[in-house]
A and B are shown apart, each in its own frame.
Chain A
Amino acid sequence: MNQVWIAIVAIIVAPLIGGLLAGIDRKITARLQGRYGPPLIQPFYDFFKLLGKTRIATSRTQFIWLYGYLIFMIAALVMLVLKQDLLLLVFLLGFAGISFVLAGFSCKSPYSHFGANRELLQILAYEPVLLLMALGVFATNGSFMISEIFESSTPLLAKLWPIFIALLVVLTIKMRKSPFDISTSHHGHQELVKGIMTEISGPYYALVTLTEWYELVLVLGLIALFWANPLWVEILIALAAFVLELIIDNINARMTAGWMVRFTWAVGLVLCILNIAYLYFMKGVS
């Protein structure tokens, strides 16, 4: 019974935190650019405004995939707050990403297809890193369960810091920030219109925004796991990662999709593999 309540509270509170973080994001970005910036609750205004717009249906299957995106994301978040299996969480996150790609492919617009192709490349770039993260946790704790992470006395960061760096790259991709602002071209409207979001409008855009808030909280939660005890360090490390992303976003130009895959594989994957290989090597020695 207690677990059900934790899940319900997480489902309600996560989008509030996500929306507030998005507001902080826009404010800090504006300040870094020498502007005043919108009010902190601007993302919520945008969200409710989008709910009030008329629906323009381009494809019915698209809506089903968008609901799938939301539901898989919520399921992954519930797995996290209930401290369940990390590997399963990564798979759920993968399903959510694929649902979004299929939503992009299910209408005829070429921009939407371009965006979906690039989203697929993003998944290709970050999914191996997430899987290897789960494997790294297994190598240190001997279990995929998140509850085990909270029970161990030394933080994961001590042994898994290379994987942590790789995870920060994943956070940039997931937040769709420069240099990985690839599939929705948030700042480059002239290039792809709005990429995978082109045909998603009105209330369905609001749905995607909601899912992105869940996603942001979820990925920050994964980052926080690297220093699970005590709670305040956990929150601090997630916030620090978030602010770091904003700074990276503002000092970088957008890169191409091919560069993204090469970079994440050359840096992210190599860091992860070396990390895990070292862990098993040390186990073999002792």
Chain B
Amino acid sequence: MGIIRASQIKSPWILHFDNSSCNGCDIEVLACLTPLYDVERFGMVNMGNPKHADVLVVTGPVNYRTARVLKNLYSQVPDPKMVIAVGTCACSGGVFHNCYNILGGVDKVLPVDVYVPGCAARPEAIIDGVVLALQKLAKAVGVAK
């Protein structure tokens, strides 16, 4: 159905998961919800429940403990879903690279769709990342312009 596919890119609900970040990126993710950036204009809503989410926004490097939680959350998000790695840590491990407890970036555990680098990633960059993810989704479901 065309209308369903067109709606899929208009209403991304976001689940934000913090692996083991320094909280710098988390604060920037929350800054997107403030009146200055107001991501709700694009229909993005911050959800607290993986079963209602479309986009998984992950910050911070994966460590041995959060890897299991992250996989669990990912499997609870119903298809179609997207994963966005926000911040240098989530992309590659960043400053935590080669720590004894760190596995590395999110892509060590999950298939990542969009990488948003930056320490901390700026809200504009995060919004750009979500828009890029939506374009990818639009291509995948076949409504790309």
Contacts and interface: CB of A to CB of B under 8 A. Distances in A.
B79 A45 contact: no
Contacts of A200: 51
Contact of B78 (A39, A44, A54): A54
Chain A interface helix/strand/loop/mixed: loop
A194 to B, nearest CB: 5
B54 interface: yes
Q: How many B residues are at the interface, by size bracket?
A: 20 to 34
B49 A49 contact: no
A10 to B, nearest CB: 23
Residue of A38, A47, A49, A199 most packed against chain B (CB within 10 A)? A49
A35 B38 contact: yes
B7 A45 contact: yes
Interface stretch (A11-19, A26-34, A146-154): A26-34
A194 B49 CA distance: 7
A282 to B, nearest CB: 51
Categorize the interface residue count of chain A.
Answer: 20 to 34
B28 to A, nearest CB: 18
A189 B4 contact: no
A161 interface: no
The 10 closest A-B pairs by CB, nearest first: A189-B48, A48-B7, A201-B51, A52-B4, A45-B10, A35-B38, A34-B35, A49-B7, A45-B11, A45-B7
Interface of A: 26, 30, 33-39, 42, 44-49, 51-56, 189-190, 193-194, 197-202, 205
25 contacts: A30-B38, A38-B42, A42-B43, A45-B7, A45-B10, A46-B43, A48-B4, A49-B10, A49-B11, A49-B54, A51-B4, A52-B1, A52-B7, A52-B80, A54-B79, A55-B78, A56-B51, A189-B47, A193-B48, A193-B49, A194-B52, A199-B51, A201-B51, A201-B52, A202-B51
